[in-house]
Structure 1
Amino acid sequence: METGTKGKRKITSAEAVRILQKSGMEIDEKKAEEVLDLMYFLAKLIVNQNFKT
């Protein structure tokens, strides 16, 4: 899933892996990238639906 926000991201896939490992989840960087893609897509969708007219 491509959201078009890769240049604006503040969390890298490596950082996401580290954060998730602290919570007990084992995930590789490719899956972390997919999770980040989904999270950024959902965040953008929610903002567009709720704050833009």
Structure 2
Amino acid sequence: MLLNARIEKVSFYQKFGFESYGHPYDKNGHTYLKMIRHDSRCAMCDSRY
């Protein structure tokens, strides 16, 4: 699962298993950071791939 989180919300999403990756970027006057959470439906997380 991917999401774009405002930089001030990163710690909130980390509580739910999200990890940040990449570099922060600015959009609409806010700083965002890409975050990912690995789950059973995530093809990137499946060891068969």
Provide TM-score, normalisation by structure 2. Answer: 0.31
Give the structure-1-normalised TM-score: 0.30
1 or 2, which has the higher helix percentage? 1
